[in-house]
Structure 1
Amino acid sequence: MFRKVLVANRGEIAIRVMRACEELNVGTVAVYSDADKDAGHVRYADEAYNVGPARAADSYLDHDAVIEAARKADADAIHPGYGFLAENAEFAQRVEQEEGITWVGPSSDAMESLGEKTKARSIMQKADVPIVPGTTDPVTEPEQVEEFGEKHGYPIAIKAEGGGGGRGMKVVRDESEIEEQLESARREGEAYFDNDSVYLERYLEKPRHIEVQILADEHDNVRHLGERDCSLQRRHQKVIEEGPSPALSDELREEIGEAARRGVAEAEYTNAGTVEFLVEDGEFYFLEVNTRIQVEHTVTEELTGIDIVKWQLRVAAGEELSFEQDDVDLEGHAMEFRINAENAADDFAPASGGTLTTYDPPGGIGVRVDDALRQGDELVTDYDSMIAKLIVHASDRDECISRSLRALREYDIEGVTTIISFHRLMLTDETFNEGTHSTKYLDQELDEARIENAQQQWGTQPSGSADEEETVSREFTVEVNGKRFDVDLEEHDPPTIATEQDSSGGLAERPDAAEDSSTTTSGAGEVIEAEMQGTILDVNVDEGDEVGAGDVVCVLEAMKMENDIVAETGGTVSEVPIEAGQNVDTGDPLVVLE
């Protein structure tokens, strides 16, 4: 076993890996950006090294900086977690070439083969795994998409080679959308995965998303650990995951599990991974392989009692799997809820900041919380919005839903808006409770008014919002007829206490009164502002251009999603204070129209 493992990640997954290391008596090393200097994973690790500025490309994605940190710490292994460098075959190869440092994951060759979707489809075909009709060669011209549509019909999915989780995927519903969606998919592929190569698939309208967890060692042993159902998604981003799937028969469950084993064996894959499938009308089709640990691996751990992260470390150290396929039993039912700092009632807009004034996670039998933040921590918004994962296990699905509702009611978070209210809504939703939802349910069928009502009833408000009136809270304990009551009194907009005066005798302006913006404008006119923090992927207009209402002026990436920013009214572009690759904050001016 290793002496010391550097975890090339942050947040809850970094702590999850470090806990596995601790139980194996292995030392832990954290890396952190300037934005994460006070982060939970830094506090937890035995030692920590700064790898650069807040921008991920300059820190967590910097190959040289991460490897140099491993050298400084004298670490003999690097575990990538998920996201960031976890599926980067080039980085894995760099680590493999480093003397004395082991890559905890599949080989770089296997990552490259299965990470590029067209190669993965070819491998699965050889292993007799069903695949959705599509191309096995990259597509570069609109005419190729037209030909595919004529042969297989619409809609068509255009997917980035290195994509996943809906990133780098665009749907073409008719011929008029081909050129725009092809360019958008290639642009996302380049921005996220440094690879603008795309391929085509027939787009299934209402499938279930089923994934199979696998473990494989270097001694030709391949095991699957059952399936997870990840069909409750918003814009291809998973929200609630569960297992076993309520949509599979025992026969279909066995077929999918064995197909996953055949596929990874054909690829000569080792370590942990996930084979994803789409299921529709009793048929299943290969989707992709995630060559890493998954966010929702916890569901499988609760069902099987197998510590997947520990086995990642053991397999990387050369150990052989100690259990047979027949030893893997799924007991009961488990669900995972992503506790994201987002406002579900505002199109799931990510929080722009906040402090956890209260953070009291639930407990009790069958309840697990994977997190990194603690009460008093400030929310870091430079990366993804997930602040914790709630995992609930019970004897069956009905009890799991009841227990999950109890745990969500107990989960007390104040100061940051989260989607806990949305989760509570879904656990009372008839379609979800019946297990008949598809991957399109949230985007196409759920009444948004129900989400708004849930947020009003159960949601929390962010701390320190500039739009909120100032409130002073006072706590009292009173006794009425022998019964004790705790009373909270709130005074809204209390009188301002003058502590400084300017030379004219008036109140001095607070130094933080002026707006702090990363972009500025000088001209008058209608200002199109950023509705969320993110990165500009593309600027579609120049000064002097005429735009109409509904025209896209730029493309903003936020929380792994590409968002078209449109003009609400027509006009002439007088200022463009942004450029591609620039980070912007909520409220920053993007384009000025006259």
Structure 2
Amino acid sequence: MFDKVLVANRGEIAVRVMRACEDLGIDTVAVYSDPDRHGGHVRYADEAYNVGPARAADSYLDGEAVVDAARQAGADAIHPGYGFLAENADFARRVADTEGITWVGPDPGPMRTLGEKTKARSIMNEAGVPIVPGTTEPVTEAETVREFGEENGYPVAIKAEGGGGGRGMKVVRGPEEAAEELESAKREGEAYFSNDSVYLERYLETPRHIEVQIVADEHGNVRHLGERDCSLQRRHQKVIEEGPSPALSDELREQIGEAARDGVREAGYTNAGTVEFLVEEDPDREPGELLGPETDFYFLEVNTRIQVEHTVTEELTGIDIVEEQLKIAAGQEIAFTQDDVELEGHAVEYRINAENAADEFQPANEGSLDVYDPPGGIGVRVDDALRQGDDLVTDYDSMIAKLIVHGPDRETCLARSARALKEYDVEGVVTIVPFHRLMVTDDDAFVGGTHTTKYLDEHADRDAIAAAQEEYGTGDAPTADDDEETTEREFTVEVNGKRFEVNLEERGAPAIPTPDTGGGRDRPDVATDDDGDDDTVAVGDGETVAAEMQGTLLSVEVSEGDEVAPGDVVCVLEAMKMENDITADAGGTVTDVPVAEGDSVDMGDVLLVLE
């Protein structure tokens, strides 16, 4: 077994991996970006190393910096968690080729193959796994999209080769949309995955999202650990996951599980992974009825890493999946047979995101956990990294914790969930806890288990969501003296990878001036130079279009001298894993564009000036 593992991630998943390491007697190493210097995963680890500034590309996605940190710490393995570099085959190869360091994940070869969706579809087809009608070669022309739509019917899904979670996917509902959506999917693929290759699939109108957890070792053993139902999604991002699925019969469940085993065995895959499927829902199915073995299901993709929702499977099976990953990477054989795997009861995971569900799940731009008191009791598990008093870091995703509830059956599990969500006390940061409370108590489709992946976006009661936010939502906690100014001086010393921190708080003192290290602009009429120095350049007078949230510019659609009308898209901003069109509120002539494609911007930063 390993002596020291570096976790190439942040937040709750980094802490989750570190806990598994500690159970096995393994020392842990954290990496952190500048805004994460006080993060929970840094506090938990035995050692911590800075790998760069806030921008993920310059820190958590900097493979060279991560490997250098592992060398410096003397780590003999790297676990990537999920997100960031977890599914990057080039990084996996870099780690595997580094003397003395083991990659805790699948072999880079199968990882690359299954990460490319068209190749993965071909492998699954050869293994006899059903696949959605689609292309197996990359698509480059809009005419190909139109021809596919004529042959298979609309809508058509355009998907990025390296995509996942809805990123890099666009839906074409008619031939007139083909060119625009193809270009958008290619752009997202390049921005998110450095790969603008896309393929086509028939878009299913009423699917359930079912995924199967698998583990496989180097000795030829492949096990599936049951399925999870991830059908409650907004804009293809999962919000609540549960297992077993409330819709599947035992016969259909077994068919899907065996299909997952066959597929990964055909690919020569090892370590933990998830095979995802779309299952055709019967729109006339009543609560309590189950989908039988004749139901159509189709392979969607393989996630070559551990999933956010792996906790559901752990509660159902009692198997520590992260521990299995470490043992498999160390060359050990899986110690249980397929017949040993039994699903006990029902489990649900609630993503505790810093978002306002009543405002289209808008992510929070700032906040501090003035009060943070998670629930407890039988059947309740909370995976988190933040603690009371921590500031919210908004440079990455919006999830601050995961609440996992287990019970002997679904009804008991939902009742226990309602109790746990009621106990979850958060002040100072908006969360979607009120939304979750609505789902488990008053939403007939979710409680009845008849929801599909389209439900939340197309059918959920927006007024009910707003009412839940109003009733159960939290605001900023009161302070002892809001008028008294408090200055906190923070000192961090790192010696041979060991961190020592000293915090001094002084009330009534003036704030200590500090340089702006985030690349943002404090005033709407100035902008920093691209090289990040302190010089400023005026952006001129006139109407301004500002960033509505922190993010990265995928494209700038206008130039100086262009004429724009109200509603025209002027920029495309990636924030919280989603592509957002920034439009002009008023018409006019563009007189200044102080930003460029690839720039990171903060909320309120000026994107262009109109006259």
TM-score by length of 1: 0.91
Partner of 1:78: 78
Residue in 2 aligned with 1:67?
67
SS of 2:327's partner is helix
Deviation at 1:543, TM superposition (A): 1.4
Q: What are the within-5 Å matches in structure 2 for residues 111-190 of structure 1? A: 111-190=111-190
Q: Could you tell me which residue of structure 1 aligns to residue 309 of structure 2? A: 296
Q: 548, 553, 565: which one pairs with 1:536?
A: 553
Task: Find the aligned partners of 1:517 and 1:219 in 2 and give their Cα distance.
Answer: 60
Structure 1: which amino acid aligns with 2:317? T
Other-structure match for 1:566 = 583
- Find the residue that maps to 1:42 and give its secondary structure: helix
Distance (whole Å) between structure 2 residues aligned to residue 345 and residue 441 of structure 1:
16
Give the secondary structure class of the aligned counterpart of 1:247. coil
Q: What secondary structure sits across from 2:57 in the alignment? A: helix
Aligned with 1:399 (options 406, 412, 425)? 412
Q: Which residue is equivalent to 2:497?
A: none
Aligned ranges 1:271-420 → 2 under 5 Å: 271-281=271-281, 282-420=295-433
Of 525, 543, 550, which aligns to 2:567?
Answer: 550
443, 446, 450: which is aligned to 2:464?
450
One-letter code aligned to 2:545: I
Contact 1:357-1:414 within 8 A present in 2 as well:
yes
Quote the Cα distance in structure 1 between the aligned partners of 2:210 and 2:311: 15
Cα distance in 2 for partners of 1:341, 1:229 equals 23
Cα deviation for residue 564 of structure 1 reads 0.7
Distance 1:248 1:334 in 2: 15
Amino acid at match of 2:320: D
Shift of 1:592: 2.1
Which stretches of structure 1, 4 residues or longer, exceed 4 Å deviation after superposition?
471-474, 509-512, 517-521
Greater displacement, 561-570 / 530-539: 561-570
2:455 is aligned, of 438, 441, 450, to: 441
What SS does the aligned partner of 1:376 have?
A: coil
Partners of 2:93 and 2:446 in 1: CA distance: 42
Q: Distance in 2 between matches of 1:274 and 1:327?
A: 19
Q: Give the SS at the match of 1:239.
A: strand
Instruction: For 1:586, give the aligned amino acid.
Output: M
Distance 1:445 1:566 in 2: 26
Quote the Cα distance in structure 2 between the aligned partners of 1:65 and 1:473.
Answer: 43
Find the counterpart in structure 2 of residue 485 from structure 1.
none
Q: CA separation in 2, counterparts of 1:164 and 1:430?
A: 29
Q: Assess, with a 3 A threshold, how the Cα gap between structure 1 residues 462 and 562 changes in structure 2: closer, same or farther.
A: farther
Q: Does the 8 Å contact 2:405/2:416 carry over to 1?
A: yes
Does the CA-based 8 Å contact 2:539-2:593 persist in structure 1?
no
1:85–1:511: structure 2 CA closer, same or farther, 3 Å change rule?
Answer: closer
Distance in structure 2 (CA, Å) of the matches to 1:524 and 1:397 = 60
**Alignment partners' CA distance in 2, 1:473 and 1:62:** 43
Distance 1:571 1:426 in 2: 45
**Aligned partners of 2:32, 2:115: CA distance in 1, in Å?**
26
Q: Shift in Å at residue 574 of structure 1?
A: 2.1
* Preserved CA contact (<8 Å) 2:428 2:475: yes
Deviates more, 1:278-287 or 1:568-577: 568-577
Q: SS state of the match for residue 293, structure 1? A: coil
Q: Which runs of 5+ in 1 are unaligned?
A: 464-470, 475-492, 498-508
Deviation sequence 1:47-71 (CA, Å, 0-9, x none): 1111111111111111110111111
Give how far 1:462 is off.
Answer: 4.9
Give the unaligned 5+ runs of structure 2.
Answer: 282-294, 486-509, 528-537
- 1:584 maps to 601
1:43 aligned partner, one-letter code? R
What is aligned with 1:221?
Answer: 221
Rate the CA distance shift 1:96–1:522 in 2: closer, same or farther, 3 A: closer
Aligned AA (2:358): A
Residue 244 of structure 2: aligned partner: 244
Q: For residues 130 and 320 of structure 1, what CA distance do their matches in structure 2 show?
A: 30
The whole-number CA distance in structure 1 between the counterparts of 2:200 and 2:414 is 38
Note the 1:34-49 alignment, pairs <5 A: 34-49=34-49
Larger deviation, residues 568-577 vs 56-65: 568-577
CA contact (8 A) 2:539 2:594 kept: no
Provide Cα deviations, 1:24-60, integer angstroms capped at 9, x if missing partner. 0011111111111111101100111111111111111
- How many angstroms does 1:575 deviate by? 2.1
Q: How many residues align?
A: 556
Q: Verify the 8 A CA contact 1:222 1:261 in the aligned structure 2.
A: yes
Q: Which residue of 1 aligns with 2:504?
A: none
Shift of 1:511: 9.8
CA–CA separation in structure 1 for the residues paired with 2:352 and 2:230: 16
Separation in structure 2 between the aligned mates of residue 344 and residue 54 of structure 1, nearest angstrom: 26
CA distance in 2, matches of 1:158, 1:284: 19
* Aligned equivalents of 1:522, 1:222: Cα separation in 2: 60
Aligned partner (choices 417, 425, 439) of residue 426 of structure 1: 439
Cα distance in 2 for residues equivalent to 1:106 and 1:116: 14
CA contact (8 A) 1:349 1:532 kept: no
Question: Alignment partner of 2:246: what SS?
Answer: coil
Matching residue's letter, 1:328: V
CA deviation map 1:332-390 (0-9, x unaligned): 00000000111111111111111111011000000000000001111111111111000
CA drift at 1:233: 0.1
My pick for the range that moved more, 142-151 or 430-439, is 142-151
- Deviation of 1:551 (Å): 1.3
Contact 1:517-1:585 within 8 A present in 2 as well = no
Q: CA deviation at 1:473?
A: 5.7
Superposition deviation, residue 525 in structure 1: 2.8
* Aligned-residue offset at 1:526: 2.5
Answer yes or no: is 1:516 the counterpart of 2:530: no
Q: Matched residue of 2:302: which SS?
A: strand
Change in 2 beyond 3 A, CA 1:539/1:388: same
- Alpha-carbon distance between aligned partners in 2 of 1:587 and 1:550, rounded to the nearest angstrom: 19
Decide whether the 8 Å contact of 2:349 with 2:403 is kept in 1. yes
Q: Cα offset for 1:589?
A: 1.8
Q: Distance in 1 between matches of 2:190 and 2:216?
A: 31
Partner AA of 2:599 in structure 1: Q
Q: Hey, what's the Cα distance between the residues in 2 that align with 1:40 and 1:305?
A: 26
Query: For the residues of structure 1 that align with 2:177 and 2:188, how far apart are their CA atoms?
Result: 16
**Residues in 2 aligned to 1:166 and 1:241: alpha-carbon distance in whole angstroms:** 16
Question: Does the CA contact (< 8 Å) of 2:545 and 2:584 recur in 1?
Answer: yes
C-alpha displacement of 1:447: 2.1
Mean CA deviation greater in 372-381 or 570-579: 570-579
Q: CA 1:15 to 1:472, structure 2 compared with 1: closer, same or farther past 3 Å?
A: closer
Cα displacement string for residues 289-332 of structure 1 (whole angstroms, at most 9, x for unaligned residues): 00000000000000000000000000000111111111111010
Matched-pair contact (CA < 8 Å) for 2:370–2:476: no
- Corresponding residue number in structure 2 for 1:487: none
1:449 to partner: Cα distance: 1.7
Aligned to 1:352, the other structure's residue is in SS state: coil
Contact 2:353 2:401 in 1 (8 A): yes
Pairwise CA distance, 1:568? 2.6
Counterpart amino acid of 1:48? A
- Tell me the SS of whatever aligns to 2:60: coil
Q: Which residue of 2 aligns with 1:211?
A: 211
Give yes or no for contact 2:539–2:609 (8 Å, CA) kept in 1: no
Q: Deviations over 1:247-267 (max 9, x none)?
A: 111111000000000000000
Matched residue SS, 1:163: strand
